[in-house]
Structure formats: structure tokens, C-alpha cells
Amino acid sequence: MLIKGSYETAAASYGGNVDFLKTSLSSEGCLPVAEHHTLIIDVSAGYGSGTLPYQEQFEIGGTDFLLGYPLPGYHRRGFVGASELGASATYRWMMTEYQLNAVKAVYLVLSGGAANVWNARDDMSLQGLRKGASIGLHADTLIGPVRFNFGAGEDRRYLVYFSAGFDF
């Protein structure tokens, strides 16, 4: 299990031109269900107060953690706000393993989650969470991970995601 927390503050007394406070806590746990089958659970919460600049706000959307909390069926950084809640479950099955240099393994990945961001802490609620799910094929390759996902969000939102190589 991985647990991460952060605390950030900015103030005019530090030499800046904005005043804000930002805290976050996230956790990820991986549970081997059987050989080649893994369940991954993620939860995340964050709170910001004061004049939180746009680039410091929490963001949700997309299928990876590169920019914010992932939520399939929505664009990466599709929603931003001063506070955030999110939870997801991912099932990953290693369908086949190769002894090749180009491809090492191929996975079927099913994911579902709920998350949202709010500008006011009082507006935060479990009923306000946006929901999304995805199905994808992933591979460990010579150039790094290759991922192809089909995501579905609320209100008939559908997106196809493709990435090759490592995230930076």
C-alpha cells in the first residue's frame, strides 16, 4: 500500500503575491487476486483555500495520473477546482507473457471510478461525484508501456485514449 500526502502554502510574507493553502492525501493498494490477476484500489482527497491559482488547483480526467486524478470518459484535466475527491478500482489481467525483446506482456484492463472537483469546500458531496469507466489493452514493450483504452463517462461521453512510452 502506498500513502502520499502533501501540504503547500503561499503567502505574501514568503515573498509571493498570492495567499493559499493546499493539502492532499492519496492512497493506492494492489491486491493480487490470482496468478496474473490484480485489483488496484485508489482513493484521493484534497482541499485548497485562499486564492488558489489555476495551475495549483486540483484536476480530474483522463486515464492516468500525469495531470491530476484519472477519470475515464473525460478529457485529461477536464475539470479543475480548489477541492477534490476521487476513488477508483482497476482490474488488470496479464493475458500473455512473451520472451520477445519488442513485447514482454499484454494486459486486459478494466477500470471504474468516481471523482469531482469543487471550488467551495461546502459544495463537496458524494452525490456530486462524476462517474467513468474504461476497458483497454496495455502492453509492456521495448519503447515502454503502450496503452489503448476506450472510456465512457456520464451523459454519453466516449473517448479513445492511446499512449506509447513513459509519462514524464
Q: Give the chain as a 3 state SS string.
A: CEEEEEEEEECHHHCCCCCEEEEEEEEEEEEEEECCEEEEEEEEEEEEEECCCHHHCEEECECCCCCCECECCCCCCCEEECEEEEEEEEEEEEEEECCCCCEEEEEEEEEEEEEEEECCHHHCCHHHCEEEEEEEEEEEECCEEEEEEEEEECCCEEEEEEEECCCC
Q: CA nearest 92: which of 20, 30, 42?
A: 30
Q: Return the domain boundaries, the chain.
A: 2-10+20-164
Mean predicted lDDT score pLDDT of the chain: 92
pLDDT at res. 28: 95
- In the structure grid, which three cell numbers stand for residue 126, read together? 458524494
pLDDT tens-digit series, residues 132-149: 999 999 999 988 999 999
The more confidently predicted of residues 98 and 3 is 3
The more confidently predicted of residues 98 and 7 is 7
Q: How far apart are the C-alpha atoms of 52 and 5, rounded to whole Å?
A: 18
User: pTM for this one?
Assistant: 0.88
pLDDT at 24 over 80: yes
Q: What is the 3-state secondary structure (H, E, C) of 91-136?
A: EEEEEEECCCCCEEEEEEEEEEEEEEEECCHHHCCHHHCEEEEEEE
pLDDT at 34 over 90: yes
Cell numbers 452525490 correspond to 127
CATH number for the domain formed by residue range(s) 2-10+20-164 = 2.40.160.50
pLDDT at res. 83: 95
Please compute the mean of the pLDDT values over residues 21-30 and round it to a whole number: 96
Q: How confident is the model at residue 168 (pLDDT cuts 50, 70, 90)?
A: low
pLDDT tens-digit series, residues 45-100: 999 998 889 999 999 998 887 767 899 999 988 999 999 999 999 999 999 988 87
Q: CA nearest 147: which of 166, 135, 133, 163?
A: 163
pLDDT tens-digit series, residues 96-123: 988 877 899 999 999 999 999 999 888 9
DSSP one-letter code for 16: -
